[in-house]
Structure 1
């Protein structure tokens, strides 16, 4: 494992404490993670989403902090569900929330982890950064054999390098991530098998199971000076059990990212979408959907079954710990949708098809 300086680590922890929204010194410079041809979403140094809102800067952060009205979180917010002990293999589809945005997806006899974070803090250091308020919904030692790990982007609440290294050493899975993230991942274990792809790329896992990378309205950074130097994505998993669309983080944008998934893959069987880390809205809207927007996204996808994550485990923003679930319930009622059509999952909670 490569060591980072204490200063760099503490700075990155501060970025995460600000809800995953830092600022960057936008030097043209060199990209330490990826070198490749320019495209419609890569300028030779940084990735971007077409029409992306201008990055926040120190003045925006100061404005947020000076007027902040954050709700307090409890030190502990235990899940009502016991820690899951998953079966070794599942023929159909079984999905468990580990916590925050981390899932175990068991489908067609394969076991897939998405953004596995088992750390006590969503941070590069142990002494600072958002602290976990409930234990993982599956203990690391209770994972079944893992065939693949999908990493949506490199923020510390989605890419937990030490845990990924332990998972790699124990299970030797294929790790799939967007462009540039292989360098970051191999910094934790240089033997890790990482396959990186661009938006639109696909990986065949065999037996009719494929993973596809699609765009999101988000960004990436591990510190203060590498903003948008590694790509970010959503995943579509196609299998004999249907289409599963997973988003780690995204803003709503104009809704095109959701319409495009439906146009390419059809109406998903399942959509797992973020519902938290959205306040204050003026600061977070470009990168984090709120529950009302999540319900609108499900409608654009064709009304699949939906599961909500990215809430209730790490405090990243200003809303209270239970507000996302409450707001989701209200948004579903306003849209005339049944409450069980979009569940705000808790760690250890299991959904099966």
Structure 2
């Protein structure tokens, strides 16, 4: 059972919020929640685990206990990695709220392999497979499933979430992708999330020996992706999470200066809220 370092205040803040347009909260790692003016609430990649020490060591608080979530319409998964699809983090949200989980085939395969429907009170009809090109209507949000480029994942996707107040993009752990130019032209993205981190040493899964590891965009890659996507505002994520791969997003101010996009760099920390 997951126990939060912070108690219930963050989930209560989300549930009590009454945004004029869309409010966005950051959970650390690559987790976010979006809440619209009509109350529709969508979680994206919420991960509340501590990793697998000593290989992956969580460097930030666990912001909430998933059993405390009482209002959610959907959980979106970008790809199958543990810090994006995790039974103890997400199944209790589905159980308590009756929300639907959307994800590509390999993400939903994890839920079956881990036996979510056996261990928690969730049903098969709470899982819906998506693929690139799909469009979902979730309450007041229109969600477009788009491609992503993550060589460490077997089937990653990104999401473009449209609302009358603005458009939000979540790239998962994607690095620059060929399709980003089309996405940038097709959508007018107000706020975009891209994973950022250093290249560092992480113990190898098999040997335990330190191994040079690049899981996320470096300074140049994240600005290349943001510029191609024509992001009005770039919000770096994932930089806070794993020991050995943490980064300083303030360094990105220097990298944005000579590019047309992103227009604004929005640096947020775990628990912060921004609005579209």
Taking structure 1 as the reference length, the TM-score comes to 0.63
**2:230 equivalent in structure 1:** 302
**2:190 equivalent in structure 1:** 269
Which of these residues, 48, 54, 60, is aligned with residue 134 of structure 1?
A: 60
Contact 1:86 1:144 in 2 (8 A): no
Q: Which runs of 5+ in 2 are unaligned?
A: 118-122, 202-211
**1:19 equivalent in structure 2:** none
Q: Secondary structure of 2:56's match?
A: coil
Alpha-carbon distance, 1:251 to partner: 2.0
Query: Equivalents in 2 of 1:311, 1:144: separation in Å?
Result: 29
**2:255 equivalent in structure 1:** 331
Does residue 217 (structure 1) correspond to residue 149 (structure 2)? The answer is yes
Contact 1:218 1:232 in 2 (8 A): yes
Supply the RMSD in Å over aligned alpha carbons.
2.9
Q: Secondary structure of 1:237's match?
A: strand
Query: Equivalents in 2 of 1:288, 1:99: separation in Å?
Result: 14
**1:38 equivalent in structure 2:** none
Q: Name the structure where strand makes up a greater proportion of residues.
A: 2
Alpha-carbon distance, 1:114 to partner: 0.5
**1:99 equivalent in structure 2:** 28
**1:259 equivalent in structure 2:** 181
Q: Which runs of 5+ in 1 are unaligned?
A: 1-77, 222-227
Contact 1:111 1:144 in 2 (8 A): no
**1:246 equivalent in structure 2:** 170
**1:314 equivalent in structure 2:** 242
Larger RCO: Structure 1 or Structure 2 (Cα < 8 Å, ≥ 6 residues apart)?
Answer: 1
**2:100 equivalent in structure 1:** 174
Query: Equivalents in 2 of 1:296, 1:132: separation in Å?
Result: 28
Structure 1 residues 233 and 278: alpha-carbon distance in aligned structure 2, compared to 1, 3 A threshold: farther
**1:288 equivalent in structure 2:** 216
Contact 1:145 1:171 in 2 (8 A): yes
C-alpha offsets along residues 306-349 of structure 1, whole Å, 9 cap, x if unaligned? Answer: 2110111223xx44x3x3324323313454889x9112321111
